[in-house]
Copies of this chain bind each other. A is one copy, B any other.
């Protein structure tokens, strides 16, 4: 029941969050790593929307309702874990983090970032990957990690 509705259309976002958390729990159990309450909470906060969020935004939200303010390492460590598990991606061009929309396989993603509404989607890119690998090979280069971030206007924000 993976109802992948488009982030660009109105949808029951609670469902996105729940699905992301469920997948995360399953994957972590499967891998024998610990999705602690803190890590799960951070993942939930990352999934609050389909827009990348900054580490310090997460920090602020984490602090809401807590007796003491959370500290940066708390968030960064959780994000590091989530990235290692392929549950969250970092968007380097805007120093922000976004939930992975198809976790389960380790990958780096290719992101379409709307500069107006900030909605960001992760797209499949087998042919992009092929082009990249082939170009890299032409230069004797072996790719380990990719950062592919495309900024522009999403289908809602571009004036037709």
Contact = CB atoms under 8 A, between A and B. Distances in A.
Interface of A: 8, 92-93, 110, 112, 114-115, 121, 123-125, 127-128, 130-132, 134-136, 138-155, 158
A155 B140 contact: yes
7 contacts: A112-B136, A114-B141, A121-B141, A123-B136, A124-B135, A128-B128, A140-B154
A127 to B, nearest CB: 5
Given A123-B139, A135-B128, A147 B112 contact: no
Given A93-B92, A141-B153, A152-B145, A125 B135 contact: yes
A147 B144 contact: no
